């Protein structure tokens, strides 16, 4: 990575359909206030953030048009819900793991045993989200995270990885127990948000970093976006971490995987952007 590429980074986290809408709302609101974060030299996307990252990195979507698209009916999407049994399995996996890799292995086994839609059906849905953003951009550098279902290790695919962008994004969005494991490059992959909800550590070395994370959570295994942001700051970066405010959390509380929540989440994100506009502008203008 060259010095120019290392200057600024935009990190987009995991958070389901509602999270994608919320992040686009935040990005649009910040752009309306005068700061376009899509000019970042590096974009890191995990799960929902992988979709949004691919969209904004492609240069094929104006932010205002992308925001307006979030306010329409999400045709072609598959409804999903993690039931009480799934939540219990996730909780047990956290309680019995000491590292993100151990947690990833447990969720990899859960994902492999789950009954889901066919992989090709799920890939078609993700391809529909990406639309014209189906190819890796030359710039900015785009990192799409996924977790190896067998080793539990995090990988960040980029244009040099030799895998199609649509497949990399599908892998990053493969929520264990809900969507099928993705077979890619001879390995089996699950959601990049399993390692952490932001994976902001991948922006290490950048001078200025903005993290937009629909999920602010962390636990004894997974570092929160705030903790990862603090680690980047301790290493010398200027960092702004944006997570949902009270109004946005009310939307997410209804179920972040529900496609119908994309509309209110996008509006909540746009409204919340005003509270961060000055801090982000000051950071990005340096």
* Helix boundaries (H) for 35-146: 48-58, 63-69, 84-95, 100-113, 119-130
Q: Which helix (H) or strand (E) holds 147?
A: strand 141-148
User: For residues 113 and 177, what is the distance between their CA atoms, to the nearest angstrom?
Assistant: 8
DSSP, collapsed to helix, strand or coil, labels residue 238 as strand
For residue 17, give both structure tokens: 């359909």
Are the C-beta atoms of 220 and 181 separated by less than 8 Å?
no
Instruction: Choose among 212, 176, 180, 202: nearest CA to 191.
Output: 176
d(Cα 81, Cα 241) in Å, to the nearest integer?
Answer: 27
Helix (H, G, I), strand (E, B) or coil at 112: helix
- Which residues are the active-site residues? 47, 191
Q: How far is CA 263 from the centre of its chain?
A: 18
User: Which residues are registered as beta bridge partners of 42?
Assistant: 9, 141
């Amino acid at each position: 990575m060259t010095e120019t590429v290392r200057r600024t980074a935009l990190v987009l986290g995991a958070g389901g359909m509602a999270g994608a809408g919320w992040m686009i709302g935040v990005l649009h609101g910040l752009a309306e206030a005068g700061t376009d974060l899509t000019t970042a030299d590096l974009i890191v996307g995990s799960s929902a953030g992988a979709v949004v990252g691919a969209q904004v990195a492609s240069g094929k979507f104006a932010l205002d048009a992308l925001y307006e698209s979030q306010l329409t009916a999400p045709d072609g999407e598959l409804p999903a819900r993690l039931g009480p049994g799934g939540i219990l399995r996730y909780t047990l996996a956290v309680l019995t793991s000491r590292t993100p890799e151990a947690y990833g292995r447990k969720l990899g086994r859960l994902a492999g045993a789950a009954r889901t839609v066919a992989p090709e059906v799920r890939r078609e849905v993700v391809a529909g989200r990406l639309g014209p953003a189906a190819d890796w951009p030359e710039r900015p550098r785009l990192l799409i995270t996924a977790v190896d279902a067998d080793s539990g290790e995090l990988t960040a695919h980029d244009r040099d990885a030799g895998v199609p962008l649509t497949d990399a994004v599908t892998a990053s969005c493969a929520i264990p127990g809900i969507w099928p494991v993705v077979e890619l490059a001879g390995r089996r992959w699950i959601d990049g948000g399993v390692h952490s909800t932001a994976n902001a550590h991948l922006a290490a070395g950048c001078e200025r970093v903005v993290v937009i994370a629909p999920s602010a959570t962390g636990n004894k295994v997974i570092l929160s976006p705030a903790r990862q942001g603090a680690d980047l700051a301790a290493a010398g970066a200027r960092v702004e971490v944006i997570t949902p405010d009270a109004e946005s959390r009310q939307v997410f509380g209804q179920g972040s995987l529900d496609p119908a929540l994309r509309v209110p989440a996008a509006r909540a994100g746009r409204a919340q952007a005003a509270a961060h506009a000055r801090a982000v502008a000051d950071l990005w203008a340096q």
